[in-house]
Amino acid sequence: MKYVGSTDEYFEILEANREHTSGLDKPIDGQLSVVWFQENGNKLTIDSVPNTFDKDEILCLTSLHKVEINTLGKTKILRFNSPFYCILNQDSEVGCKGILFFGSKSLPVLKPNKEDLKSICSLTQMVQLEMESRDDLQQEMLQMLLKRLLILCTRIYKSSESLDKLPAQETDLIREFNFLVEQHFKTAHTVSEYAQMLNKSPKTLSNLFGKSNSKSPLKIIQNRIMLEARRKLRYTEIPISEIGYEVGFQDIQSFSRFFKKNEGTSPSDFRAVK
């Protein structure tokens, strides 16, 4: 079921499985997806990292993620593009930028409890019903339902990561840091550079991430650089020296040292393994 607006904005709800992946492994630029697994034992390789997802786990993906499907049971996908609901513009109301989408920490996997699942089921049923409407309020209603779903998913993930125990101001600072890393990781490799962007000291950022039991700010930056490097090495034929330059290294030697320190193997050896 799919809603398409007058300026190509869209929101759709799909059923997927191994035979019919519904484009899960072939996203279109600008797409954001909420993937809700309905069965156990789903095996997906995402950005060259193998993952297993079980029933009722929820995964949030952008079109930047490279997804390879090994095993996929019954899965529900809610997908939309920025013209339909722009996360960047609406984030002050939803709060998922840097947590569910466009964050640099780790792949966001949600594990809702029974009460959360009741709410998610109810929301998706309402979306399906609203898809059948054909009046002037349809888009507004669908946007409202999507907003409610994203807020719920954000709350679930914040609770699982203990972010709900931090003051809102500190949670917002973590989100903004994650989003800035997503924007600038190719050119800014140090904590001090991001601290300056946020008008904070590097020590303040380090202490904050320590309180949230998260990876250190430096590790988050390095992980995002590594993610991009792995994507380029595995899914493109771009020369290794050029990949290193793209992610901010001036020569192949420094890039290779950085990559091997973090991955345990050289860029050329990593690329050779398919």
CATH of 168-272, one of 1.10.10.60, 3.10.580.10, 3.40.50.2300, 3.40.640.10: 1.10.10.60
3-state secondary structure 56-99: CCEEEEECCCCEEEEECCCEEEEEEECCCCCHHHHHHHHCCECC
- In this prediction, residue 202 carries a pLDDT of 93
- In this prediction, residue 92 carries a pLDDT of 73
What is the C-alpha to C-alpha distance for residues 73 and 22, in angstroms, rounded to an integer? 12
What is the C-alpha to C-alpha distance for residues 234 and 150, in angstroms, rounded to an integer? 31
**Cβ atoms 88, 47 nearer than 8 A:** no
What is the C-alpha to C-alpha distance for residues 86 and 140, in angstroms, rounded to an integer? 14
DSSP per position, 132-180: T--STTHHHHHHHHHHHHHHHHHHHHHHHTTGGGS-HHHHHHHHHHHHH
Domain 2-161 top-level CATH class: mainly beta
Residues in the chain with pLDDT values less than 50: none
**Cβ atoms 97, 176 nearer than 8 A:** no
Q: What is the pLDDT of residues 53-75, one digit of tens each?
A: 999 999 999 998 999 999 999 99
Q: How far is CA 122 from the centre of its chain?
A: 24
- In this prediction, residue 222 carries a pLDDT of 94
Q: Closest Cα to residue 107, out of 200, 27, 35, 14?
A: 35
- In this prediction, residue 147 carries a pLDDT of 94
- In this prediction, residue 44 carries a pLDDT of 95
What is the C-alpha to C-alpha distance for residues 53 and 44, in angstroms, rounded to an integer? 8
- pTM score: 0.85
Residues of the chain with CATH 1.10.10.60: 168-272
Q: What is the pLDDT of residues 174-215, one digit of tens each?
A: 889 999 999 999 999 999 999 999 999 999 999 988 877 678
Residues of the chain with CATH 2.60.120.280: 2-161
Q: Closest Cα to residue 78, out of 50, 110, 120, 40?
A: 120
Phi, psi at 31, each rounded to 5°: -75, 145
